[in-house]
Amino acid sequence: MNDMRTEELARRLEAVERRLAVLESREGGPAATAEPDGGAPDGRFWVLDGLRARLAAGDGAVVLAGVVPLPMGEEYAWQYGQTTGDLLAAGWQELSKVIAALAHPVRLRLLQLILTGTQSAADLQSVDELGTSGQLYHHLRQLIAAGWLVQAARGHYAVPGDRVVPLLVLLTAAEH
């Protein structure tokens, strides 16, 4: 029994040493000393540290999270995660319509305007860059069909709360 415990501790120590080596190589030097909250002193890896602490050795995962206060007073706090294995095994082609709906500058502008307070069709129609009313409604329908928008009331649109952070994550990912 004691030999098994010793082997387990040795295996875990080896895993910690590998992780430390990876962190040191990313930073170009020794890893920072942990602060009482468990993160690096400068807080750069606090999300990753928390994620690693929850994973079994050798597992991977991707987490999306954010806190988004909007100009109209709403605040959205959201997180979602999946294991790397599940993500790599999923049917990515099924997501193409959801992603394609964002692949138009007018649709991205619409989402930006709606998130920042311009939510009525009448106000949206007054924005020249959105095109004719027919073009505007075409883009609104595409965003609704893909789940990026909902019609909150007659002639008023909103980004569903569970889509605010994922939308901003996709935009952040597109910048890098």
- Structural domains in the chain, CATH included, are 2-89 (no CATH), 92-175 (1.10.10.10)
Number of Cβ within 10 Å of residue 122's Cβ equals: 10
Q: What's the whole-number average pLDDT of the chain? A: 84
Helix axes 105-115, 161-175, angle to 10 degrees: 130
Global pTM reads: 0.71
Query: Among all chains, which residue has been given the structure tokens 């409604």?
Result: 137
Express each pLDDT in 24-45 by its tens digit: 554 444 443 344 444 455 678 8
Q: Token pair for residue 69?
A: 């206060």
Question: Which DSSP symbol is given to 116?
Answer: T
Express each pLDDT in 58-107 by its tens digit: 889 999 999 999 988 999 999 999 999 999 999 999 999 999 999 999 99
DSSP string of 25-82, one letter each residue: HHHTSSPPPPPTTSS-TT-TTHHHHHHHHHSPTT--EEEEEEEEE-TTS-EEEEEEEE
- Rounded distance, CA 168 to CA 86, Å? 23
Q: What is the pLDDT of residue 67?
A: 93
Q: Token pair for residue 94?
A: 């099924």
- Rounded distance, CA 85 to CA 90, Å? 9
69: left (phi over 0), alpha (psi -120 to 50) or beta: beta
